[in-house]
Structure 1
């Protein structure tokens, strides 16, 4: 189920976290922004450019040093899919409401723009809305690439274990998009492996509530996603506990 989301919520991303998920079409950004992201400082060693690092430091205040969250309600954003991170930031920045964004969307969808726009995923998080908007547009791609390049586990040595979590029945649909090992093969679908269970559970509940037509309180975190809602609508709380627990127990670097 967590299936086609694009839940990571992980990565959601990026956020204050009670809400994070999913997919807007890619909005092209200048290649120079990505190429300027890293600055080699010594042989075999590199660090992020100072202006990019300043933006990352803001992210790390909530999402943990190096993007590895120590707070159950906040997702780890280090090592998340770059396309997914970018789209979540775009959603929080309210992409699609700005005239210049509409031009980009129309170029991609042509006469289908209105129908396409009505199906765009939605995410609301007071904290993340403001934080995402504060990232300068010229640095957005560089910040996204930097976050994706960080180790999801903070660079800790991998511990090999023979104990593997059993796959809950209701998770069968999730692995189609998110992978049985929680590592998605799709660029716009988040990796779920190793994400905090509290975070994954909360995102699924918000998506399920949206599918059931429940209206959140004003300024309360909320999230919708057409594909994910179809998967989450009939999940029970017990199902969600099993699904979120399964993916949280997986190694964020992959492997079963």
Structure 2
């Protein structure tokens, strides 16, 4: 199928923390995904990275960002669960700028912007830590070795301390996710056959029991397409480049590498139609 024009606002991966208000929507073409890719060819092109919109893609470090040296390392995590360590009220305060772009109460109103409300707290924490690590790597002139890198999110996570990441992740995970987009009266969506491969980790209906694995049910369709394409790109080109948007998973790589455009669209459409609870 052909995707015509997608209206994108403040393009990012799992979202933008401590970002300014969303800029005016950009009209960007989404590539045609009409046929499966032959083995050995390039992966699907995605909407151009926002890197080209900035003269200095790294920007200036946010207030409070650590001074980086070649030997800089992230602080080790304290023991204990998010529930026992996280501070909900501090997370609420930290989340205010995030919700400017991720929607009131963390439920996104934009197709490329993920809903954060109700997502797994451990998963959210790991994503923020990856963004923060990627910022440190890029500031030192290294290509991103972290599992996830995205220019704006890297910068916005750079100033977050470990405790702030815990607090923010816990707060967002406690927000109601909005119930998805499927009205109660509508018949249960029919899962495509390819979704059986996803159910082992992401749950039969897109709600995972693993705290490290994200819920997919009720997530934005275009965001899911975007992430599957990013996984597919990194599976074909595992060696990252400086300032390159990247999302890699050793588990996801063999699952997505052979997906056709139709498979990707079917999966995204199905999971977006499910209730998030």
1:122 positional shift: 1.6
* Structure 2 CA distance for aligned equivalents of residues 32 and 163 of structure 1: 38
1:196 counterpart residue number:
220
1:24 counterpart residue number:
none
* SS class of match (1:53): helix
Q: How does 1:68-83 map to 2 (within 5 A)?
A: 68-83=107-122
Structure 1: which 5+ runs fail to align?
1-11, 20-26, 39-47, 99-119
Q: Which has the higher helix share?
A: 1
Q: 1:64 aligns with which of 103, 123, 127?
A: 103
1:173 counterpart residue number:
197
* Structure 2 CA distance for aligned equivalents of residues 184 and 148 of structure 1: 13
Q: 1:182 aligns with which of 200, 206, 214?
A: 206
2:27 counterpart residue number:
none
Q: 1:133 aligns with which of 158, 163, 172?
A: 158
2:3 counterpart residue number:
none
1:84 counterpart residue number:
123
1:214 positional shift: 7.3
1:15 positional shift: 4.3
User: 171-180 or 214-223, which moves further after superposition?
Assistant: 214-223
- TM-score under structure 1 normalisation? 0.69
* SS class of match (2:176): coil
Q: How does 1:1-256 map to 2 (within 5 A)?
A: 13-15=14-16, 28-29=77-78, 37-38=87-88, 48-49=89-90, 52-94=91-133, 122-153=147-178, 159-213=183-237, 219-253=243-277
Over aligned residue pairs, what C-alpha RMSD do you find?
A: 3.1
Structure 2: which 5+ runs fail to align?
1-12, 18-46, 50-75, 138-144
* Structure 1 CA distance for aligned equivalents of residues 135 and 238 of structure 2: 24
* Structure 2 CA distance for aligned equivalents of residues 248 and 134 of structure 1: 32
**Structure with more relative contact order (C-alpha pairs < 8 Å, separation 6 or more):** 1
Change (3 A) 1:14 1:31: farther
1:171 positional shift: 1.1
1:221 positional shift: 2.5
- TM-score under structure 2 normalisation? 0.64
* Structure 2 CA distance for aligned equivalents of residues 218 and 121 of structure 1: 12
Aligned residues: 200
* Structure 2 CA distance for aligned equivalents of residues 175 and 211 of structure 1: 21
